[in-house]
Chain A
Amino acid sequence: MAKKSDLLPGTLDMLILKTLTRAPLHGYGIALSIKRISDDVLQVEEGSLYPALQRLLLQGWVKAEWKQTETNRRARYYTLTETGRKQLGHELSEFDRMIAAITRVLREA
C-alpha cells in the first residue's frame, strides 16, 4: 500500500473546519473536497476522519444533523458553529506562525 503523506498533527481538524466554512457537508463530502482541492495530495484516511469529526463535535466546533441527500439517502451533515469559526481563526493564525518559523529555519541553512 502506498504510504500516504502524513499531515501535521492537528491540521486535519483545521482542514475540516475550513472545508465546512463554505457549506455543510457529510463525511464523505468533506474527504472528497479536501482531496479535490489539494490535487490529490491530501487524502484523508477514513480512519482519521471520523474520530476527528467526533472530536470536533465534542468541542462544540461543529454540529451535526441527519438530512436527505439529493439522491434521497440519509446522511449526516456537519455544520460549522460560531465557536468553530472562531477556533478556525485561531488555528489559521497559529498555522501561519508555524509555517513562517519553519521556513525561516529552512532558509537559514
Chain B
Amino acid sequence: MDRLTDRIASLFRKLSLLLRRNRFRTELDEEMAFHRAQAEKDFLAAGMSSQAAHTAAARQFGNPVRLRERSSEVIHFRFETALQDLRFALRTLARDRSFTLIAVLVLALGIGANVAVFSVVNTLLLRPLPFADAHRLVWLEPGKNLDPRLLAAAGLGGKTFSVDDYEAFQRANHSFASVASFNPFLGNSEYTLTGSGEAQGIAGMMVSGNFFSTLGVQPELGREFTRDELQKNGRPAALLSYFFWQRQFHANPSILGRPILLNNKPVTVVGVLPASFDFGSVFIPGQQFDVFVPAVMDEMRSWGNTLSVVGRLKPGVTVAQAQAESDLVFAGIKTAHPTYDFSPTLSQLQEYVSGKLRRSMVALWSAVGLVLLIVCVNLSSLLLARTTRRGKEFAMRTALGASRGRLLRQLLAESTVLVTAGAAVGLGLAFALTSYIAHQDSIALPLLHQVRVDRTALGWTLLLVVAITMLFGLLPGLRLATGGADRQLHAALKDGGQNASSAGHGQRLRSALVVVEVALSCVLLVGAGLLLRSFLNTLDVDMGFNASHASVMRVIYDQGADADKRTAAVQEILRRVTAIPGVQMAGIADMLPLGRNRSWQFWAKDHPPRNGDIDAALTRIITPGYLAAIGIHLREGRDFTWQDREKREHVVIVNQAAARHFWPGENPLGKLSVVDGGDMAPARVVGVIQDVSQTTLETEAAPEIYVPVMQSSPEGAELVVRTGGPGAPPPGELSRLLLSTLRSLNPAQPAYPLEPLQTMVDRSTSPRRFFLVLVATFAALGLTLAALGIYGVISYGVEQRTQEIGIRMALGASAAQVQRGILTHTALLIGIGVAAGTLTAYVFGHAIAAMLFGLAPTDPATFAAMILLLTAVGLLAGFLPARRASRIDPMTALRGN
C-alpha cells in the first residue's frame, strides 16, 4: 500500500511539474548556469586564465541541450514522446503532399470496400436474424423424400404444406414450443385499399395466429389476432406493417380499432407491427408487405398445399432431434392420409434464409480481401520508396542521438497517421456504400435492408487499422536497420545521396511487391471475368418470351365464380385496351414468368401416373391473345379463342417439357388430359408452346400448362400489352391511357405502375448482377493499383539508374534500345506475376464453380482475355517511364544529380 501511495504521490508531482513546464525549464537553465559559473570560478581560483576556465567549465558540464533533455525525460510521460512523434509525422506528411494523398486515397478505398463488404457479409450471414433467440427458429422445407423433378413441376406447391398436414404436425410433435405458418401464395392476399384517397394496391400476407409470437415479435401498437378473428367467417382483422402505417396513415395511432376497406370489405385494424420487423426481408426477398391478415385454416383446407411452416424449438432440443421426430410424425401422417409424403427437411431459419448465399458471400469476401491485400502491398511499396529517399534524414537523426527504437517509433507514428486517415475516409465510403445497398429495393436478396455499418463492423475497422499499421509501419523500418548501421550512416550522409547498394536492395524488394500485386490482380480479374461471362450467359438464355416493347400492369376486376360474367369483363377490358393507339396486342395472365407460380395436378388421360411419377404441372390461367402479347412462341396447334367457353370442351395448352414428359415420343396435340385431379372435365391439348423460363433464368423449364380464363377461376390478373408502330405512345403516356381505360370499366382500379417486362427480367437477375458489379469494381480497383504499382517501381528504377542509363547511351545504346530494355524488364515482372496469378486462379477456381453459369471455372477464353488485359495495362504503365528513360540526355545524366 505504501508503494502505491508513493506512486500516486510521485504521479501528482509529475503532473504539477508538467503543468509548470516552462517554469521548470527556465529554472533548470538557471540552475545549470549557476553550476557552470561556480565551476568556472573554481577553475579561475585554481589558476587558469579566464578564457581557459570558461572553456573548461563548459566542457566539463557537457552538452546543455542534451542535459536538459535528459532531465526533462525523467518527468516525461511516455506518451509525450508519442505525441511528439505524431506531430512530427503530421508535419513530414504534410510536406510530401502527393505521397500522402495517394496513400490515404488508396487506403481509404481498400479499407472502405472491406468494411462495406464485411457489413454485408455480417448482416446476411453472420448476424443472427432480427428475432428473439433466433437460433431456435427452424424452417421446414417439405419433400425430402420426393423426386426433385416432381418438386420442380409442383413449383411453390412443392414447397408448402396442406392445412391438414400442418395441423397434424402441430398436434403430434413434442420438439417445438410452437409451430406457425404463413401463406406464400401472394395472389391470395393482394388487396385494393379504397376509402382513403386514391385506390391503391397493397400487398398482404396471411399468417397463422401464433406467427408473431413464434418469431418473438410483438406489435408496437395494439394486439395480435384473437381466436374469433382466426375462424372462418370471423371478424375481419388486420395488422399493419410499420412503414405502411407511416406512409398511409401518417403514424396516427387513432387508426387502431377502426376499419379500412380492403377489396371493398371493411377490415378492422387491430395493431401495428414494429419498424424492426420486415417480413419480406427474411422470408420473401424483394417484396414488401403492408398488411398481415389471419390465415383461416378452415377456409384453406381445400386449397391444396398452401402453407410455409416455421417453428420455435423447445429449449434444449436440437435441430437433429427435431428432424428425427419430424420423420416419424410424417411417416405417421402418410399412413393416416396416403397422399404424397411431404416429410420435410428441418434447418435453422438462418440457414434457410442465407445459406444459399454463403458461397457468394465467401467469394465476395475473398475478392475484397484480395483488394485490401493489393492495397497493402501498394502502400508498403510506396512507404519503402519514401524510406529510401529519406535515408539522409534518418542518418542525420541517428547521428544526433536517435536510437533505432526511436526511429521505428517515428515510422510507426507516420504509418498510424496514414492508416487512421485512410480508415476515416474509408469508413465514410463504407457508410455511403452500405446505405446505398440497403436502399436498393430491386435486388432480391434477403436481409439487404438491414445492411449497415454497426458496432461489429467498427470493431473490424479498428482491427484492420491496427494490423495494417503494425505491418506497414514496421516493414520499412526493418529495412532501415539491416546491414551495418555505421556504413549506412556514412554512405547516406555523403553527398551524392543514393547509395547504389541500398537502393538496389530496395528496388528488388519493390519489384517483388509489384509481382505480388500483379498476381493478386490477375486472380481478381479472372474471377470477375468468369462472373461476367456467367451473367452474360444468363442474359443469353432464351427465356421463351419477348421482353422488349412489352409492359405489364396489374388489373383488378371481378374474378368471381360466374364464368360468363368473368369472361365478359375480361373481354371488354382487352377490347378497350387494344383500341388504344399504339397497343398492338394485349392479353391477361394470372401469373407471369419469373414471378409467382402455382401448380395443379395434371397428367395424360391415356397414361395415368404411377406412384412417384410426376403428376403436376405449373399452371397459368390466361386469356386469348396473351401468348402473342408476351411473345411466347406457339410451336404447334393454336392459341385459345373466345369460343373456348365454359360450356364447350375444356382445352389446355402445354409446354414442350410437359409434352415430353406426359406424352413421350408422341404428339400431344388433340390428346386428352386430366387437369386438377379430375375435378374438371378432361381437357384437350390444343397447342404446344416453347418452354418459358419459370423461376429463374438458369433453371430448366418444368412441365407447364395454360388454361383459359373462361374455363377456370384465376388468381390475379396481369395485363400484358405489346406496343409498336408509328402511333406508339411513350411509357408515361401509355400508363395514363391504360389506367383511365381500366378505370372507365372499374373505378376502383388502383394506380398500379406500368412495368416494362424487361424490369421484371432484371429483377430476376438482380442478385447475380449485384455480385458481378461488386466483384468487377474490385477487380478494376485491383487492376488500377497494380498498374500504379508497376508505374511506380519502373519509374523509380529509372530515376535511380539515371546515371547508368546515361553512361549506356553515351557508349552507344540507342533510345529505342533503352526503352526496349526497360519494357522487357517490365514484361518480366508482369510475366511472373501473371503466371503466379493464373496458377492460383486455376487451382482455386473450382471454389466459385457453383456461382457460374454456362462455363467452367477453368474457361480458357476468360483466362486468356484477362491475361491479355492485365499484360496490356501493365505494359502501358511501364511504357511511360520507359519513354522517359529513352529521352535521358546522357550529358545531363552524367553530369550530376
Instruction: Please determine whether A51 and B73 come into contact, CB atoms closer than 8 angstroms.
Output: yes
Instruction: Please determine whether B75 and A26 come into contact, CB atoms closer than 8 angstroms.
Output: no
Partner of A45, one of B17, B32, B62, B74: B62
In the bound complex, what is the Cα–Cα distance between A57 and B20 (angstroms)? 15
Instruction: Please determine whether B67 and A58 come into contact, CB atoms closer than 8 angstroms.
Output: no
In the bound complex, what is the Cα–Cα distance between A60 and B38 (angstroms)? 27
Q: Closest Cβ of chain B: how far from A16's Cβ, in Å? A: 14
Instruction: Please determine whether B73 and A73 come into contact, CB atoms closer than 8 angstroms.
Output: no
With A46-B60, A54-B74 known as contacts, the answer to whether A74 contacts B30 (CB < 8 A) is yes
Chain A contacts for B42, CB-based, 8 A:
32
Instruction: Please determine whether A46 and B31 come into contact, CB atoms closer than 8 angstroms.
Output: no
Majority SS at the chain A contact face: helix
Instruction: Please determine whether B74 and A51 come into contact, CB atoms closer than 8 angstroms.
Output: yes
What is the chain B residue whose CB lies nearest that of A46? B61
Instruction: Please determine whether B38 and A28 come into contact, CB atoms closer than 8 angstroms.
Output: yes
In the bound complex, what is the Cα–Cα distance between A58 and B34 (angstroms)? 22
Instruction: Please determine whether A47 and B62 come into contact, CB atoms closer than 8 angstroms.
Output: yes
Residue A76, interface by CB 8 Å: yes
Residue A101, interface by CB 8 Å: no
Instruction: Please determine whether A58 and B13 come into contact, CB atoms closer than 8 angstroms.
Output: yes
With A27-B31, A46-B35 known as contacts, the answer to whether A55 contacts B62 (CB < 8 A) is no
Chain B contacts for A45, CB-based, 8 A:
62
Chain B contacts for A95, CB-based, 8 A:
none
Instruction: Please determine whether A60 and B60 come into contact, CB atoms closer than 8 angstroms.
Output: no
Partner of B35, one of A28, A57, A60, A66: A28
Partner of B67, one of A28, A31, A32, A46: A46
In the bound complex, what is the Cα–Cα distance between A55 and B67 (angstroms)? 14
With A51-B73, A57-B13, A58-B10 known as contacts, the answer to whether A73 contacts B67 (CB < 8 A) is no
Chain B contacts for A31, CB-based, 8 A:
35
Instruction: Please determine whether A58 and B6 come into contact, CB atoms closer than 8 angstroms.
Output: no
Residue B814, interface by CB 8 Å: no
Instruction: Please determine whether A46 and B62 come into contact, CB atoms closer than 8 angstroms.
Output: yes
Chain B contacts for A54, CB-based, 8 A:
71, 74-75
Chain A contacts for B9, CB-based, 8 A:
60
Q: Closest Cβ of chain A: how far from B425's Cβ, in Å? A: 43
Interface residues of A in 56-77 (CB under 8 A from B): 57-60, 66, 73-76
Instruction: Please determine whether B30 and A50 come into contact, CB atoms closer than 8 angstroms.
Output: no
What is the chain A residue whose CB lies nearest that of B69? A51
Chain B contacts for A47, CB-based, 8 A:
62-63, 66-67, 70
Instruction: Please determine whether B74 and A58 come into contact, CB atoms closer than 8 angstroms.
Output: yes
Interface residues of B in 4-24 (CB under 8 A from A): 6, 9-10, 13-14, 17
Chain A contacts for B491, CB-based, 8 A:
none
In the bound complex, what is the Cα–Cα distance between A59 and B10 (angstroms)? 5
Interface residues of B in 600-621 (CB under 8 A from A): none
Residue B28, interface by CB 8 Å: yes
Instruction: Please determine whether B67 and A75 come into contact, CB atoms closer than 8 angstroms.
Output: no
Interface residues of A in 9-27 (CB under 8 A from B): 26-27
Interface residues of B in 189-220 (CB under 8 A from A): none
Chain B contacts for A26, CB-based, 8 A:
31, 34-35
Instruction: Please determine whether A51 and B30 come into contact, CB atoms closer than 8 angstroms.
Output: no
Residue B255, interface by CB 8 Å: no
In the bound complex, what is the Cα–Cα distance between A59 and B30 (angstroms)? 22
In the bound complex, what is the Cα–Cα distance between A54 and B68 (angstroms)? 11
With A45-B62, A60-B6 known as contacts, the answer to whether A51 contacts B13 (CB < 8 A) is no
In the bound complex, what is the Cα–Cα distance between A73 and B6 (angstroms)? 34
Q: Closest Cβ of chain A: how far from B25's Cβ, in Å? A: 12
Residue B385, interface by CB 8 Å: no
Chain A contacts for B30, CB-based, 8 A:
74, 76
Provide the B63-86 mask, 1 if CB < 8 A to any CB of A, else 0: 100110011011100000000000
With A45-B62, A60-B6, A73-B37 known as contacts, the answer to whether A51 contacts B31 (CB < 8 A) is no
Instruction: Please determine whether A59 and B70 come into contact, CB atoms closer than 8 angstroms.
Output: no
Chain A contacts for B62, CB-based, 8 A:
45-47
In the bound complex, what is the Cα–Cα distance between A28 and B73 (angstroms)? 21
In the bound complex, what is the Cα–Cα distance between A59 and B3 (angstroms)? 11
What is the chain B residue whose CB lies nearest that of A45? B62
In the bound complex, what is the Cα–Cα distance between A46 and B63 (angstroms)? 10
In the bound complex, what is the Cα–Cα distance between A74 and B26 (angstroms)? 13
Residue B509, interface by CB 8 Å: no
Chain B contacts for A60, CB-based, 8 A:
6, 9-10, 13
Provide the A28-60 mask, 1 if CB < 8 A to any CB of B, else 0: 100110000000000001110011001101111
In the bound complex, what is the Cα–Cα distance between A86 and B38 (angstroms)? 31
What is the chain A residue whose CB lies nearest that of B59? A1
Q: Closest Cβ of chain A: how far from B881's Cβ, in Å? A: 52
What is the chain B residue whose CB lies nearest that of A87? B6
Provide the B678-718 mask, 1 if CB < 8 A to any CB of A, else 0: 00000000000000000000000000000000000000000
**The 10 residue pairs across chains A and B that have the minimum distance between CB atoms:** A54-B74, A28-B38, A28-B35, A47-B62, A76-B31, A58-B10, A50-B71, A75-B34, A51-B70, A46-B61
Knowing that A58-B10, A76-B30 touch, tell me 15 more A-B residue pairs with CB under 8 angstroms: A26-B35, A28-B38, A28-B39, A46-B67, A47-B67, A47-B70, A50-B32, A51-B71, A54-B71, A54-B74, A58-B13, A58-B17, A60-B6, A73-B37, A76-B27
A-B contact pairs, 14 of them (CB 8 A): A26-B31, A27-B34, A28-B35, A46-B35, A46-B62, A47-B62, A50-B28, A50-B32, A50-B67, A55-B74, A58-B13, A58-B74, A59-B10, A76-B31
Instruction: Name B's A-contacting residues (CB within 8 A).
Output: 6, 9-10, 13-14, 17, 27-28, 30-32, 34-35, 37-39, 42, 60-63, 66-67, 70-71, 73-75
